[in-house]
Amino acid sequence: MQHNLTPRYLIISVILAWAVYALLPTWQYQNMTEDKKEELRTAGELERVDSRIIRQGLDLKGGMYIVLEADIPALMGNLASLKDDRLETIIEGAQKKSTNPDVDFFTAFEEDVKTDGIKLSRYYHEYGASLDDIITALKDEADDAINRVLEILQNRVDQFGVSEPTIQKQGKHRIVVELAGIQDSERARALLQSTALLEFYLVKNIAVTNEIIAQLDDVLREKTDSSEQPEPEEKPAKKDEKDDESTTVSELFGDSEPVTGDTSQGTIDDIFADAPFSGLLTALPGDMGIEEKNVYALKKLLTRPEAQSKLANANGQFLFSQEAQSTTNVNDPEKYYRLYYLENRPELTGGIVDEARADLGTLGGGSAGQPVVSLAMNSEGSRTWSRVTGANVGERIAIVLDKKVHMAPSIREKIPGGRTQIEGFADINEAKDIAIILRAGALPAPVNIIEERIVGPSLGADSIAQGTQAVLIGLALVLIFMLVYYKLAGTLADFALIWNILLVLAVLASLQATLTLPGIAGLILTVGMSIDANVIIFERIREELRKGKTPKTAIDSGYDRALTAIIDANVTTLIASLVLYQFGTGPIKGFATVLFWGILISMFTAVFITRTIFSAYVSRKTLTSLSI
């Protein structure tokens, strides 16, 4: 008999060793000082330890609660094949009406379209010919967009490393995100909202750039000169009257100080009046730049209708570098953005990215030791990239993320492999986030944060303390009851119950699951459910003993007869927990996870472990009675 129990002993020993191994990191982490955590974080080891511990949910650990809303009006504008002021006015009007929670955007949009008499098929001909067909198709596009946003955010957050995030729809166009234990709220916020639109634009050559700058100077100077003509004396200009389309240089840039030195050169106002656009620019090595303080002024000029018209006719656009940088001149404390004149249409977009990986630049390159994102393109992107680089050797190509130029290298040779890299990141975390976003995909519609709450860890600490107290009190009462009512057999049941709790926690740690308040409730329920199987078995054994059977026979018969009832009761609970896990979200999933594994393990401990101990006990000597 003893020999037959050896495989059982081996199985129990292996499971016990695994449980200790799985729970040891959690025990070490809970007893770790803040200084030790900081030391591990500096050494890059804390993330490895953190990946093996029992994670805590938002209600226990604290974190961020964010409500995002998809920008449906912006999506409608993006879906239009043709845009004009008339359509934008209707979209803006519907957007204002939909700020009322009782008004749906599409209902207001359809009403405004009918009122205006505009032909919607002119702008959305791909979605149908009639108004009803187009509105229905646009609603489907909006629903599809929010579902894709949900999936993309899930992918981003999963790669970001947040433990068991809750991401779910709220209503039609809102998404609730709960990030437990998040440390860098700004980084998380940027990760959720960033569209990460990756585009590759050819940079126009210096001759074309100088020509467009001269043309912009001409049209802006003409407009400025005409705006500064004196009004007839019979119609003196009022102090508070301004013509938005004829803003003077002084109004745009504020009062200017005269240039020191040779006064024959005139004042800054004179320079701006003669060259309102190029007067803001500064020559940088290999590029043109603009001082950080003058960026707003330059953007204001570029939004002027005459400048927009000139750029549209030239099929070009001006974009700024990703961040401002200081020059090599130590006597110049100013920071400058680089300004690039690019083609109006991209050669490639982010949809061709097959793989994106953040790393540090290797030796031998211009980015040695600097954070970079290496890109690998799919077959379509590789063919296009090979064609573009082969046809433009010697030209520059700008790598643009969200309308900001990260770098604009020269094309030295044809690149057939579909590989390139992006530089210009502030740190490795920014590079990692961009790589995550590029892998997960760009958002089909912009999202805005409409509610944000930071949940403090103090509330979580109280919840942990109260939940732990509830578990311990319930456990103690059950242990005492089993010991008093079933005597020696109750001791075995108590042992199995403690085993059950340890194994459930070990499974949670191994699965990197998150323990929440509902999860603690599931753990308390598991305590009662796991002891229930032992009660059924012990009562069966008592019945067999009353029939006059020997302890060994009574134990075997008790376990065999109770097995059917135990399986029936526990399998139905397992099915319920699986349904909760499949269709539930957030806390409900946490409860279902703990309940599922708790029930499954309780069957193992009650049927396998306690029977092994019983069998080992009765095999050692001949028993005439059993303490049960």
Domains identified in the chain and CATH numbers: 3-56+458-620 (1.20.1640.10), 63-195+447-455 (3.30.70.3400), 199-224+269-440 (3.30.1360.200)
pLDDT at 193: 66
Q: Which residues pair with 422 in a beta bridge?
A: 373
pLDDT at 305: 85
Query: 516-575: per-residue pLDDT in tens?
Result: 778 888 888 887 777 888 888 888 888 888 888 888 888 888 888 888 888 888 888 899
Q: Which residues pair with 397 in a beta bridge?
A: 202
Mean pLDDT of 236-256: 38
Residues with Cβ within 8 Å of 462's Cβ and at least 6 positions away in sequence, in order, are none
Label residue 295 by pLDDT band (50, 70, 90): confident
- pLDDT of 106 higher than 50: yes
Collapsing DSSP states into helix, strand and coil, what is residue 563?
helix
How high is the mean pLDDT of the chain? Answer: 77
Label residue 188 by pLDDT band (50, 70, 90): confident
Under 8 Å between Cβ of 628 and 572: no
Radius of gyration of the chain (CA): 35
Q: Which of 23, 21, 17 is nearest to 502 (CA)?
A: 23
Q: What secondary structure letter does DSSP report for 205?
A: P
Label residue 364 by pLDDT band (50, 70, 90): low
Amino acid letter, residue 488: L
Mean pLDDT of 486-505: 87
Q: Which of 428, 490, 453, 377 is nearest to 177 (CA)?
A: 453
Which H or E element spans position 601? helix 587-604
Mean pLDDT of 289-304: 85
Q: What secondary structure letter does DSSP report for 267?
A: B
Q: Which of 338, 325, 350, 337 is nearest to 401 (CA)?
A: 350
| Residue pointed to by tokens 């063919």 | 383
Of these ranges, 31-35, 90-94, 299-303, 330-334, the one predicted with the greatest mean pLDDT is: 90-94
How many CA within 13 A on the CB side of residue 344? 9
pLDDT at 559: 87
Collapsing DSSP states into helix, strand and coil, what is residue 442?
coil
Collapsing DSSP states into helix, strand and coil, what is residue 357?
strand
Amino acid letter, residue 459: L
Query: What percentage of the chain exceeds 70 in pLDDT?
Result: 77
